[in-house]
């Protein structure tokens, strides 16, 4: 379950490189404008199939809510305007905090969903292996059982009729 990973900036320089890691997390602050490339590599393991989950999170430093300090309609003289501005600021901060918490919860749920999908794939693969092994064991048990019955049956037959041709009818008959 090892996969190599590379992250390259728009110029083509490799920023992050992981080799044969089963799981990892990276943070990068973009310093250049342009398209960043990331590559997952499984070429060293051509026979095993893998499912990869990755979460790309783009954060901006811009305020996601409207700043009411600059509105002309908010320029009301007196103490009530200051009280109103404090309440609006408190509500804006609270909304931003709730948004951050909801985003974090969403990311966590996506991560847990990816882990659940990986574990389900592993369980289904293991179930398939157990099923194939069990069928093989049943086939071997049936062959051994039939062979034992034939040989035990031959013990109770007369010596003149113990030939392989009589144990297994039509043996080598042309």
Phi and psi at 110, nearest 5°, equal -65, -40
pLDDT computed for residue 128 by the predictor:
95
* Max intra-chain CA distance, the chain: 124
Three-class secondary structure of residue 73 per DSSP: helix
Residues 170 and 164 sit within 8 Å (Cβ to Cβ): no
Q: Parse the chain into domains and list their residue ranges.
A: 1-52
pLDDT computed for residue 141 by the predictor:
98
- Which residue from 61, 23, 58, 18 is spatially nearest to 41, judged by alpha carbons? 18
pLDDT per residue, tens digit, the chain (174 aa), is: 578 889 898 998 898 888 887 777 788 888 888 888 989 888 777 777 777 777 777 777 655 555 545 454 555 445 676 777 778 888 888 898 999 899 889 988 988 888 898 899 889 999 999 999 999 999 999 999 999 998 888 888 776 655 555 555 655 554
């Amino acid at each position: 379950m090892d996969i190599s990973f590379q992250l390259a900036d728009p110029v083509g320089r490799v920023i992050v490189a992981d080799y044969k890691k089963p799981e990892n997390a990276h943070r990068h602050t973009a310093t250049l404008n342009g398209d960043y490339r990331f590559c997952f590599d499984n070429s060293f393991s051509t026979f095993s199939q893998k499912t990869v989950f990755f979460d790309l999170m783009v954060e901006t430093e811009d305020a996601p809510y409207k700043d009411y300090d600059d509105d002309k309609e908010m320029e009301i003289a007196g103490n009530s305007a200051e009280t109103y501005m404090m309440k609006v600021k408190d509500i804006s901060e609270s909304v931003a905090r709730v948004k951050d918490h909801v985003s974090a919860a969403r990311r966590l749920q996506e991560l847990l969903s990816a882990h659940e999908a990986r574990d389900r794939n592993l369980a289904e693969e293991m179930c398939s292996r157990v099923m194939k092994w069990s069928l093989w064991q049943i086939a071997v048990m049936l062959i051994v059982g039939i062979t034992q019955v034939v040989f035990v049956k031959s013990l109770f037959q007369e010596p003149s009729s113990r030939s392989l041709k009589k144990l297994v009818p039509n043996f080598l008959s042309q």
